[in-house]
Structure 1
Amino acid sequence: MIAPRITRLILTAFRSYRKLDLAIDAAMVVLTGQNGAGKTNVLEALSLFTQGKGLRRADLADMASEEGDGSFAVAAEADGALGPVHLGTGIEGEPGPRKYRIDREPVSSAAAFADHLRLVWLTPSMDGLFSGPAGERRRFLDRLVLAVDAGHGTRVNALERALRARNRLLEDPQADQRWLEAAEHEIADIAIAVAASRADTVRRLAGLIGEEIDPSSPFPHAQIALDGAIENAVLDEPAVAVEERYRRILREGRARDRAAGRTLEGPHLTDLLVVHGPKGIAAERASTGEQKALLLGLVLAHAGLVARLAGMAPIMLLDEVAAHLDPSRREALYGKLLASGAQVWLTGADPSVFDALAGEAAVFKVTPGHVGR
């Protein structure tokens, strides 16, 4: 199994770092330091080597150092899936468009990075995922799919644009019906592709989880499913039939959608359903500790799925995940991470939390604007 690794990370005017040049020679990387020192900033920089806004979902302008001119750059040297590679991204002046480079040559989008490495992450902001709004679980779901299907993010963005275009047409009572029909045709076409990728990923992930159930594991297994009519339909029916039915739903629902000011049916409203497997209860009804362990187990299982389908172990970015685990779960987590063979970046304010990784991890001390061994 190929396990891509970042071997050097260079930040220029990114967040709290005016200049950082960090060499990495290990599969396990630990960043310790006080809260606010800049540990998460390093993980956020790495998360830009995939599609989207990164693990904080921040605007590009907010990533630039306050002391600069609005520009920033993130570069990495990596032993990627296709061999050594130099990756770069950033913006040149505010509000410049984000740029992407591979081996210093421009590429059109971050999707091209997926040929060289994949990333998955877990952050404290995701702790309330199961009890939070459906939109957060849908974004989590799409990140799961994106790590497996690099084109998924482009399709999700295209669907959102097409839905906005239809909403604008519905607001105009004099809108040309041919334009409306064309918009709905485009929406249905993209919606089926988005739904099919989601349904296939969840089916495969559920199957992998089922294969690896371990009653003794401190991370309870999850039972997952999709609450989305189109996603569930594409598993059993021809895509053409599902697409035509959704197009008819859009056409017949124009008056209702116009009154609501939005499209009331479709994969843009899909939810991810998660059940605590051993207890058989909805994840949101589990205790806070159980939810955290369940989420961690789900992310670890997903990393295994990425490795299986993409042919490369994903780089894992785990922000403050170990501090709130009891010792047995922490030991089990480290064992799973080491066994995965993947490069893993861990952060934590308390260095003693990582004592069990002595000799296994490269440990760095983070202070504002600086990272040192």
Structure 2
Amino acid sequence: MSGLSLLELSLSHFRSHRSAKLTLDGRPVAIFGANGAGKTNILEAISMLSPGRGLRRATVNEIARKPEALGWKVSGVLRSLDQIHEVETRAEPGENRVVLIDDKSARQIALGRIARIVWLIPAMDRLWLEGAEGRRRFLDRITLSFEPKHADASVTYEKAMRERNRLLKDQVRDAMWYGALEAQMAEAGVAIIKNRTKALERLQLAMNGAQTSFPTAELSIESPDDVVATIGKDDLTEIFAASRPRDLVAGRSLVGPHRVDLKAIYAAKAIEAKQCSTGEQKALLLSLILANARALSEDFGAPPIMLLDEVAAHLDADRRAALYDEICALGAQAWMTGTGQELFEDLSDRAQAFEVAESSGVSSVQACEL
């Protein structure tokens, strides 16, 4: 059987889980338990099997279970299309995170080549109401799901920009100091722009062509300058050079792909997402995640692993049932959390279920029936 799913998941000293092991069969997974029991920690552990810092963007030291602080490990058996891989990521105290694929050391980007993981967490519920940084991060996660190399371009850009910002803060005015850094930023920046644009076009196409119970959005990338329309390294290099006088005053880089914003229009009402109700905003986010999954199913060959934390919040019973139907129709291994078992009754035997409990600061996981 082909597809993309975890067949086993093991946690060691990860957050509240001293030790946990889940055996899986590829179906969606419903995880329920009281608030604070450790449900989200399981989803965070899975998110660490993808490039980046996971769904909480935590440092490796923040993840380690306290008070032991022995380091942590997440491992699993991953079915990726027609192949089975053993995957592992861990970090010892004070050390960088290590990734192993089939017992061989690997870069994080290699995880993105064998598995695509997308997520929606409660912190994203205010995505349309808060600052542009969160929307850029959301856009970049979607982009990364289509193009794993996007991570390399982003790291290169950020590193060069930090060096440039240091020069700006120190009021260095000699153009020679800026040339090489701005060339690096421009080369990586063009890749970032192209990757984001392609991902958004792919997402829009998947959303427009879907039979879905969730709302359609009109998506665009906005920029306070001409960066979005930039298609060449020389163009972007010129923009950085022209911006130096303003940047010197501010002490930081004021233009570039790090300043863009993601805009969404709720198509049915022709209003911006930030003006929608809480329930509509949640439905819109789910629509984007589902469209992302549909597009990846076509491009990658299988739908991504989906992490949907407290997914039932702000959804009425009909829309919740519609979500479960769409996930099952996709054939995606969606990991969903909620406080009560009754939230997942519509899934019945279409999903595996686990109850998470906490006692004296230690989480436990028990398989059960819906």
Shift of 1:173: 4.5
Taking the aligned partners of 2:276 and 2:298, their CA distance within structure 1 comes to 30
Taking the aligned partners of 1:157 and 1:199, their CA distance within structure 2 comes to 18
Shift of 1:68: 2.2
Superposition pairs of residues 1-373 of structure 1, within 5 angstroms: 2-93=2-93, 95-107=94-106, 109-173=107-171, 177-212=175-210, 214=211, 217-228=212-223, 232-234=228-230, 239-240=231-232, 243-368=233-358, 369-373=363-367
Identity across the alignment (%): 38
Taking the aligned partners of 1:18 and 1:301, their CA distance within structure 2 comes to 36
Shift of 1:82: 4.8
Residues 61, 70 of structure 1: 8 Å contact kept: no
* 4+ long deviations beyond 6 Å: none
Residues 74, 88 of structure 1: 8 Å contact kept: yes
Shift of 1:148: 0.5
Taking the aligned partners of 1:47 and 1:37, their CA distance within structure 2 comes to 18
Taking the aligned partners of 2:205 and 2:4, their CA distance within structure 1 comes to 25
- CA displacement, residues 174-228 of structure 1 (integer Å, 9 cap, x when unaligned): 565323111111111111010110011111211222222x5xx541111101103
Taking the aligned partners of 2:179 and 2:169, their CA distance within structure 1 comes to 15
Shift of 1:114: 2.0
Residues 169, 252 of structure 2: 8 Å contact kept: no
Q: Unmatched 5+ residue regions in structure 2?
A: none
TM, length-normalised to structure 1: 0.93
Read off the aligned partner of 1:127 and give its amino acid letter. D
- CA displacement, residues 20-52 of structure 1 (integer Å, 9 cap, x when unaligned): 122112411111110000000000000001111
Shift of 1:131: 1.1
- CA displacement, residues 276-324 of structure 1 (integer Å, 9 cap, x when unaligned): 0110100000111111111111110111112222222100111111243
Question: Secondary structure at the residue paired with 1:76?
Answer: strand
Taking the aligned partners of 1:21 and 1:171, their CA distance within structure 2 comes to 49
Taking the aligned partners of 1:114 and 1:350, their CA distance within structure 2 comes to 32
Residues 3, 82 of structure 2: 8 Å contact kept: no
Q: Unmatched 5+ residue regions in structure 1?
A: none
Taking the aligned partners of 1:77 and 1:129, their CA distance within structure 2 comes to 33
